[in-house]
Structure 1
């Protein structure tokens, strides 16, 4: 992947994880990743439409998965797709917790964190820094 493509994906995402909205500019975070929304092993291509800016934590837990388990119903649900799904219809922030509002939202939250087996919420950031999670913060 070229540096130009990496920068395009990063800027399109507003320098936030496209799944949990964690900003990439707060230390001491681990580096963010260019994540294949549909993994190459599932036929996903390395192009702007199939790449997302993802925090290390989410990218590590998602792996090549396209589906997850809705913690409320225990049913299989598709994971959030940043190019097709609307973030505000799938999730909400409650303080520092990301809350899944739909089966897709809950399955995605379940993929993304320490509470991977039973939670419908997860802390967005566990640093000592306070910050606003509103999209308007710079």
Structure 2
């Protein structure tokens, strides 16, 4: 069983993410569903539950990403790292 993310840590991550999904930018108030705490490096791949490895994600994006950290780029056919909302800017990555 994985580590539990405390309420205080969850609250800090949610505030840092401005209560928006790091991937689709949906606001918590608009989604109507509880946002997930996403492990950027999944626990299954050795990622921990420290704040620097956590971000907010809607259920849809979290389930789509799953335990992936990279995928095949449809344009180049090359393996590419998935977007990291902690280290990359959404507006630059998705231009």
Q: Same fold (TM over 0.5)?
A: yes
Residue in 1 aligned with 2:23? 19
Alpha-carbon distance between aligned partners in 1 of 2:93 and 2:81, rounded to the nearest angstrom: 12
Gaps of 5+ in 1: 92-100, 102-138
Alpha-carbon distance between aligned partners in 2 of 1:87 and 1:75, rounded to the nearest angstrom: 21
Alpha-carbon distance between aligned partners in 2 of 1:55 and 1:69, rounded to the nearest angstrom: 23
The higher relative CO (CA closer than 8 Å, separation ≥ 6) is in: 2
> What's the CA shift string for 1:108-138, capped at 9, x where partnerless?
xxxxxxxxxxxxxxxxxxxxxxxxxxxxxxx
Alpha-carbon distance between aligned partners in 1 of 2:86 and 2:11, rounded to the nearest angstrom: 17
Gaps of 5+ in 2: none
Alpha-carbon distance between aligned partners in 2 of 1:66 and 1:24, rounded to the nearest angstrom: 24
Alpha-carbon distance between aligned partners in 2 of 1:68 and 1:31, rounded to the nearest angstrom: 27
Residue in 2 aligned with 1:72? 75
Residue in 1 aligned with 2:91? 88
> What's the CA shift string for 1:82-108, capped at 9, x where partnerless?
2221222102xxxxxxxxx3xxxxxxx
After TM superposition, list the pairs within 5 Å mapping 1:1-138 onto structure 2. 1-26=5-30, 29-91=32-94, 101=95
Give the CA RMSD over aligned residues.
1.3
Secondary structure of the residue that 1:21 maps to in structure 2? Answer: coil
Bigger Cα Rg:
1
> What's the CA shift string for 1:33-52, capped at 9, x where partnerless?
00100011211110110001
